[in-house]
Structures are given as C-alpha cells and as structure tokens.
Structure 1
Amino acid sequence: MPKEPGRKDRSRNRRKALLALAVAAPVLAAVAVHPTIAVGDQTAPVDEHGAHPAGMGAQLAQVRAATAKYHRVAAAVADGYELGWVNGSENRIVAGCVSSPTAGAMGYHYFNAALMADNAVNELEPEVLVYAPSPDGLKLVAVEWVVRSAQSNPPGVSTPPSVLGMPMHILVPPPGPAFYLTHAWIWAKNPAGMFADFNPDVSC
C-alpha cells in the first residue's frame, strides 16, 4: 500500500499551491481590468493559420498610404488634428500620454474634431493619430478610429460601429469618455497584436 503523505509533504504541496496562486493573481487581475489586452488582435478576422486574410493586409496598406504624411506632427496639426479632445463641457480630455500599469502604453492622441463630429467611420480617415515619445520627439505609431457612444459627452450612437470588418469597443466607460474605438498599430510593431489597445513596447 502506498504510504500516506507525511506532514512535511502536505506542507510543501500547500506552499506550492499558494505560490502558483500568487503568480496567477496579477495576470487574472490584468485580464479583468483590460479584457481587450488578453485577446490582442484575435478579435480581428484570421485564417486557419492565425494570420490576417490577404484582404486585411491590403486594407491596412491603404491606411498606411493615407496617413504616411502625418509622421510629422506639424502636418497632422495643419490638417486639423490636435492634442486631446474638447468634449461637450469644453474640457480638453485625453491630452496626456496614455499608459497602463501592466500592458504598456498608447502614447499621445491627436484628435480631428471635424471627423469626430459626424459619428461615422471612414477607414482612410482615422479620427485619431497616436504618437509615442522617442529620443527624436513624437513618433507616429498607430491610428485610432473613434465614434462617440450614447454615453459620451456629447452623446453619439447607441450601436457599436465597425471598422475593417470588426466591431469597435468601449475601453473606458463613464465617467470616462465612453468612446467606441479600434486601434491599428500600422507604424510600430506591437507584440500584443495589431489591434490591441496598448503596446508593451511603448512607454510614456
């Protein structure tokens, strides 16, 4: 008959179980706070090999071509983009470098007020350009399509819009801006995925 585990064995096993829980807890907490981080770009259409379909690559190439002129912040400003968003209460919000304590950062968001006003999505005219700090100044890293939701100030649409065949999502609900949004990291590699909200390689 096998021997019953001794008190030392049981104590060792209990310590191992507690250690495993301690390691897993921060990961579970991060998923709860930022559920979109966990899935990365798996919300985007993928083929049986986990790659984006050829059509998606062509669409992203078009977005790159449409936004290539904005590598210089001055060019973006000349076309109506400005740092942060002035909401319905005349408060400028999202004007700082946006980051996550666990998932990396986004960077600085330059909004186009005219594109934000229509509550519509045009793949080739993203409402937001995202710039990350670099030794040479701000560097264009991503674009972001943004539509105001019914809970935004001023309110927008009540049904999630879609872009590139994907439904947009609300990352920061009230009392935050409650925007429907989708990022595309077309100008910087993102280990978390092309359409992830945060980039672990970016910091503020």
Structure 2
Amino acid sequence: MRSRPLPVMLLLALMASPTFAHATRTVDEVVAEVRRATEPYRDIARARADGFVQISGMEARHGYHFINVNSPVLTATGMATGQLELARPPMLLYVERDSVWRLVGVEYALPSAPVPNPLPGASWHWHEASCHYRDYQELPARRGPDCPPRHPQSGEPFVLWHPAFAVAHVWAWHENPDGVFAEENRALAAYGGSPPRPHGHRAPRSEPELAYSQFTHRFAGGVLLLLAAVIAWESRHRRPRPWSWVSSVLWILFGLYLIPTSDPESWPAGPGRFVDIFTDSLVLQHKALAMVPIAFGVVGILRSAGVIERVRRTVLVPVLAVLAGVSLFVHFHDGHFHLDAIYVQHAAMGATAVGAGVMLFLARHTPRGEALMRWAWPGFLALLGLILLVYVEM
C-alpha cells in the first residue's frame, strides 16, 4: 500500500487530537459539557470528597478557588504533559453566603495558551509560578525551593508551590455580563472579597495541608502492612543473604521516604533550612520519627551480618518503639492538646507502638521469646498499618 505524504499524515493526526476537536465546539456546547461534568459539585461536600480543597479566600469577582489535589497542575511535569479536558477541570470556583456554598464556574490551566483555542473566544491569562501560604496569600517564585518558609508579612507557613500556567474561566453556573469566558465576573461583586488577615493571627491548617497529611498517613499504613507481611515471611525460615535483608532494606527506604515527605515545606524538600527543623517542635518530631524505621533497618542488617547475634540481645529496637509510641501521645498538629478524632487516632498509634515495644522487651526475657516475636511483632505492625490506612483528618 502506498504511504501518504507526511503533511497529510500530520493533518490527520491534528484532526484526531482532543485540542482540535474542542476547537470546533460552540460556546453553548462547551458550557453544556462543563455543566454535565460538574453537576455533582454543586454540592460542595461532593467536591471535597472527590479531592477538591480550598486554596484561596474569597477573591473579588472570582470566588473561592478549590483545586483537585490529584491535578497535574500542581507539578511542573504534569503541566508539561497536560491537555485540556473539559470534563475534568482542575479548579472549581464557589461563592458563599450564610454558610451556603454555590458553584459559579471552573478554571482550566495549561502550560501555555492552546492553539487552536478549545474555548471559542476565550482569553487565556498568565498566572505566574507562586508559593501559597496557610492564610491563602501568595508570593511569586520560579521554583518551590525559592519559597520563604513563612510569608514575610503574615508569618503564616508555606503550604504548596505551583508552576506558571495559562488559565481560562468558564462561568457555567452563574451569568456573567462580560461573557462566559471572561477573566472576571462582575456579577459576583456583591459577594465582596476576603478581608486581610490581621498580622500575627494563626490560621488553621488549610485544606491542601489536611489532604496531604491524610495521604501520607495512609501511604505509611500501606508500607507497614507490606513490612508486616515480609517480616512474617522472613520469620518462617532462616534465609541466606540478601533475602534476610529484605525487611531491613524496606525499613531504611521507608525512613528515607518519610524525611522529605513528612513536612514538604521543610528541609530537605522545601524552602526551609536544616537549622529551621529545630525551631518547630512538630517538624522536629516528624524528622525524629522518620529515623526510627532507619534504625530498625540498620539493626536488622547488622543482625543478618552477624554483628548482632540475636535481635533480642539488643534493647535498641524496643526502646525506639516505646519512645516513638509515647511521642505520639504528645503529637499535636496545631500545637495544642485537643481531645478530637485526630488526637484519638494518634493515641491509638502510640498505644500500638508502645505495645510492640513492651512485647519485644518481654520476648528478651522469656524462654519462647523467638516464637513470640515471630508472630506478635508483625502482628503489631499490621495493626498499626491498619490504623494508619483508615486515618482521617479532613
């Protein structure tokens, strides 16, 4: 079969692309599709359940911005490969009055203004790369590490950074006198805008922080369940190296993962310096807890290598387990004790860790200590993993 000329093949490829297909749609068709996709999100509870979190206060003529935490616009890599999907807007726009939230539109973001324009007549506007803070203020920054750990004026902590992108609005759920794709909506002027937060006032943790914290807790739960299974498998038979090191390597990798991810705004992943860790008790506690699995892994490797003959001959593992568990009883996310669901969950984690440590101590002084550790140690880890896997913070 004779091949088609290259220009013809390129033209066919362009015609098949989503961007080209969107360009042929009318304004009414675009609005209709956006409405179909976002109809469930007229209920803000549904939007929150699907991963949309608030990232701004009430911006005059715009509304409150809610971003999907799974959206590619939060990463430079995702933006570079992103395409416009009308059915999956990365941001929703709401207004609120008397605790009643109303969906008014959506916002799309791409690395640059698309050509051809999939939103007929829309004007794409450039949003610079920015650091976002707990009180919803922003600062421009080309890279995440350039973000100050705290906002220079309000003193509120850094939450997230996003790369630069081109944005366009679709006011699908509220009439706009300037058009469906206008940058602002004058009809929302009556809703006003958020007043500036008084200097020095401590803002509660923002929704992106809550969503991220919940994800990291649950991910840690999955890792602990995996470790429990591997340790149970290892304990059934003595295995030669390197198979005897599997759980130890997993422990070390787990700790190395926790160091940057437990507090992404702090060193080494965020803009904070190493010395700043010691000025924030919560961050310091997170970093210290991340060292516990690393220590478990190192002890396991030393035991497998014969440096430590038997795990029950060292007190390091049970001591660390007990100390880590006790620390969770004084683990307060907002700096103060509150007997709420978050504290109860951390107390349950702490009690499980203390129980595991006590069990290891008992195993060192009982004739059947090895048999006890063979089942009880992975059992406690599995229980702790399950608590983390169902952790709820939002």
Equivalent residue number for residue 129 of structure 1: 92
Which of 50, 53, 63 pairs up with 1:107?
63
More strand per residue: 1 or 2? 1
Query: Which residue identity does 1:163 align to in structure 2?
Result: P
Partners of 1:129 and 1:140 within 8 A in 2: yes
Q: Does 1:193 align with 2:179?
A: yes
Query: Which residue identity does 1:133 align to in structure 2?
Result: E
Structure 1 stretches lacking a partner, 5+ long: 1-52, 85-94, 100-104, 150-158
Which of 177, 183, 186 pairs up with 2:169?
183
1:32-181 mapped onto 2 (5 Å cutoff): 55-84=26-55, 95-99=56-60, 105-117=61-73, 118=78, 119-135=82-98, 137-147=100-110, 149=111, 159-161=112-114, 162-165=117-120, 169-173=124-128, 175=140, 178-181=164-167
Partners of 1:160 and 1:167 within 8 A in 2: no
Q: What is the total number of aligned residue pairs between the two structures? A: 127
- Partner deviation per Cα, 1:126-156 (whole Å, 9 max, x = no partner): 1101001234522100011123x4xxxxxxx
CA change 1:200–1:56 in 2 (3 A) is closer
Partners of 2:51 and 2:69 within 8 A in 1: yes
Query: Which residue identity does 1:98 align to in structure 2?
Result: E
- Partner deviation per Cα, 1:154-203 (whole Å, 9 max, x = no partner): xxxxx433433567633443527633111011100111211111111213
More helix per residue: 1 or 2? 2
Q: Quick one: distance in 1 between partners of 2:166 and 2:119?
A: 14
Shift of 1:82: 0.7
Q: Quick one: distance in 2 between partners of 1:54 and 1:170?
A: 21
Partners of 1:83 and 1:110 within 8 A in 2: yes
Helix, strand or coil for the counterpart of 1:192?
Answer: coil
Pick 1 or 2: higher relative contact order, CA cutoff 8 A, min separation 6.
1
Helix, strand or coil for the counterpart of 2:70?
Answer: helix
- Calculate the aligned-residue CA RMSD, in Å: 2.5
Instruction: From the CA coordinates, give the structure whose radius of gyration is larger.
Output: 2
Equivalent residue number for residue 349 of structure 2: none
Helix, strand or coil for the counterpart of 1:201?
Answer: helix
Shift of 1:80: 1.1
